[in-house]
Amino acid sequence: MKLILLPEPEEPIPSLSVSHNQGLLQWISSVDHKQIGIMYLWLSVIFLVAGGIEILLVRWQLAVPNNHFLNPEVFNQLFTMHGTTMIFFVAMPAIFGFNTYLVPLMIGANDMAYPRLNAFSFWMTFFGGFLLYFSFLAGGAPDAGWFNYAPLNEYNYSSSPGIDYYCSGLLLSGIGTVTASANFVVTILKYRVNSMSLKQMPLFVWMMLINSFLILAAFPSLNAALVMLLLDRQLHAHFFSAAGGGSAILWQHLFWLFGHPEVYIVILPIFGIFSEVFPVYSRKPIFGYAFIIGSGMAIALLAFGVWVHHMFATGLGNTVNNFFAASSMLIGIPTGVKIFNWLATMHGGAIRFKVSMMFAIAFLIEFTIGGLSGISAALVPIDWQLTDTYYVVAHIHYVFIGGTLFGLFSGLFYWFPKISGRMLDEKLGKWFFWLFVIGFNTCFLVQHALGAMGMARRVYSYPDLPGWGILNLISTVGGFIMAIAVGLLVYIIIKALKTGEKALRDPWDANTLEWTTSSPPELKNFDHVIPVNGARPFRDFKRPDDADWKKNGQQWKIN
């Protein structure tokens, strides 16, 4: 079997001269994509616990009507920090962690195109996050919600420095995100092993490629809005204050022009993860490789044409609303294509119920619930009733948790052996799975009803209307079950790192190049890469007689 040489970055890989035993300093100064990936992942675990504890306090307050556990000031800071943390410092770093770790491995490269820039991106995210949290010590965290509407975010209405920290924290991490994405694009396009054509790239890499373009196009809008807000707050400009001639609606346009693509930014890579997980645990190739890429692109393009669905109640007029309703509903179609493709991937397969796969299967149902409630919110009249209620809170958690978080957990159980060289405990993992799924549905299913029964979101207290008390109590219980589950997860990870069973090179009989390395990979990923003749190079290598490329043409049949 002929092995193939790989393209190296223009400069020699800096980390290769670093020796292994420099402790913490070695991590801080590292430019190795695997170490940076791991640091991203730890960062997101830390913030998951932080964001989770914040919302547990919130749920405690909401457990019963007219509760006095938290005062409104603290409450508002907590849910704002929860939303901001979960999106920018849990979902994003986790996704970037997996990508930074895996993309070079999956395309047969030894590092990212710009290793130093890669480190820079990580540290920007890191400091952005800690700057945001520093606000707790500096006179109050931001308290105007994660989308921080004007003019409530202006100095007259929020004079504590929280919002200034929000701006600077997100600007810093935003710069990191943008540079990381540029880095991914160059890495994916330029540093693939020579024999891997675009049509043979793992879907995970494809989704990240699409996603990187999405990020490059979406984040500047947020950055511009944040800069304008800082100018307003610090230098008394008038962008968003109606009193000075500015416009409160402008903030919403700029924010959602970023914000809507952002929610797809945290789901597309997840679609990539599932597109690796389903085939491996079903022992079948992905169903409709091309359709998954195509629908990913469709989602990315449509993502820029739907932002007004967050603003249906602002009175923009029927024509505008109808246009954005149409585009929002259309986006359900490429997503549906993916759901059915994954179902078809499992169909006829030999399914193995590993924890990773269980999260993937559960995802199909949970995400469909979230997607359908999204479509209902895209129907303008329904949104006129339900926007800014707990119904929307339910929607975002079904897509964020049932989608993003399930995907991250699935990816964690799938790739942990590769990353750490240890196996996660499958038995405890299944406990974690069931606890989390039950807690999750307990917490959020009832919130659909609460919204329809008239409960607005972001309220620190509520009157004892019929049914509200009991449903909120159920929801709180669910939140705490999830907390137990997350605690268990942290235990599972630490246990595996300390005493876990050693992982083989290829524990799941997988298809892609990262599994050809040792577990964990050496500091230099590859010396040679196996030949790539299709989208499943490692399987072709393991089963040369049955290789995909030998039987092209036959595969477009279904039994």
Partner 1 sequence: MKATFDLALISSTQSIFDAASPQAEKIIRLSYGFLVAASGILLLVIILTVYITIRFSSKTNTVEPRQISGNSKLEILMVSFPMVLVVIFYFWSLNTINAINPDRADQKPDIIITGHQWWWEAVYPGEKVITANEIHLPTGEKLLLQLNSADVIHDWWVPSFGAKIDMIPGTDNYLWVTINKPGIYEGTCSEFCGQQHAWMRIMVVAQSPKDYNTWLTAHAVKAGLPLDTLARAGAAIFMGTSCSSCHSVQGTFANGIAGPNLTHFGSRQTMLAGMMDNNPENINNWLTDPQKVKPGAHMPRFIFGKDSVRELTAYLTQLK
Partner 2 sequence: MIKLIVGTEAMFFLALIMAFVYFSFSPGFRSHQLLNLDIKATGVFSILLFSSSFTFWRAEINYHQGKIKQLRFWLLFTIVLGGIFLLGQGREYISLLNNNVNLSSSIFGTSFFTLTGFHGLHVFVGLIVIAIITALAFAGDYNKPGSSVIDSVGIYWHFVDIVWLFVFTIVYVVPHL
Give the nearer residue to partner 2 in terms of CB position, either 85 or 223: 223
Find the binder of partner 2 among 186, 316, 372, 488 (CB under 8 A).
186
Give the nearer residue to partner 2 in terms of CB position, either 147 or 340: 147
Give the nearer residue to ligand HEA in terms of CB position, either 41 or 109: 41
Pick the stretch among 12-20, 81-89, 284-292, 424-432 that binds ligand HEA (CB under 6 A).
81-89
Given ligand HEA, partner 2, partner 1, none, residue 73, with its beta carbon under 5 to 8 Å by kind, binds partner 1
Pick the stretch among 56-64, 119-127, 217-225, 405-413 that binds partner 2 (CB under 8 A).
217-225
Q: Which of residues 245-274 bind partner 2 (CB under 8 A)?
A: 245-247, 250, 253-254, 257
Look up tokens 């035993």; give the residue: 21
b (16+ CB within 10 A) / e for 164-178? bbbbbbbbbbbbbbb
Q: Which of residues 238-267 bind partner 1 (CB under 8 A)?
A: 242-243, 247-249
Give the type of residue at 316: L
252 binds ligand HEA (CB under 6 A): no
Angle at 449 between CA 448 and CA 454, to 5 degrees: 105
Least spacing, CB of residue 304 vs partner 2, in Å: 10
Binding site for Cu ion (CB under 5 A): 260
Residue 188 makes CB contacts below 8 A (sequence gap 6+) with 103, 107, 201, 205, 208, 209, 212
Give the nearer residue to partner 1 in terms of CB position, either 220 or 305: 305
Instruction: Please state, in angstroms and rounded to a whole number, the distance separating the CA atoms of residues 236 and 506.
Output: 59
Angle at 377 between CA 376 and CA 379, to 5 degrees: 70
Least spacing, CB of residue 521 vs partner 1, in Å: 24
Number of residues that bind ligand HEA (CB under 6 A): 60
Angle at 292 between CA 287 and CA 298, to 5 degrees: 155
Q: Which of residues 73-102 bind partner 2 (CB under 8 A)?
A: none
Least spacing, CB of residue 178 vs partner 2, in Å: 5
Find the binder of partner 1 among 256, 289, 415, 440 (CB under 8 A).
289
DSSP letters of 249-284? HHHHHHHHHHHHHHHHHTTHHHHHHHHHHHHHHHTS
Residue 299 makes CB contacts below 8 A (sequence gap 6+) with 264, 268, 331, 334, 335
CA dihedral 497, 498, 503, 508 (to 10 degrees): -50
257 binds ligand HEA (CB under 6 A): no
Instruction: Please state, in angstroms and rounded to a whole number, the distance separating the CA atoms of residues 425 and 473.
Output: 32
Instruction: Please state, in angstroms and rounded to a whole number, the distance separating the CA atoms of residues 312 and 354.
Output: 42
Find the binder of ligand HEA among 103, 113, 163, 378 (CB under 6 A).
378
Beta-carbon count within 10 A of 436 CB = 24
Using CB under 6 A, list all residues that contact ligand HEA: 48-49, 52-53, 55-56, 58-59, 79-80, 82-83, 86-87, 90-91, 145-147, 263, 266-267, 309-310, 328, 331-332, 335-336, 339, 368, 371-372, 374-375, 377-378, 383, 387, 392-393, 395-397, 399-401, 403-405, 443, 457-458, 475, 479, 482-483, 486-487, 490
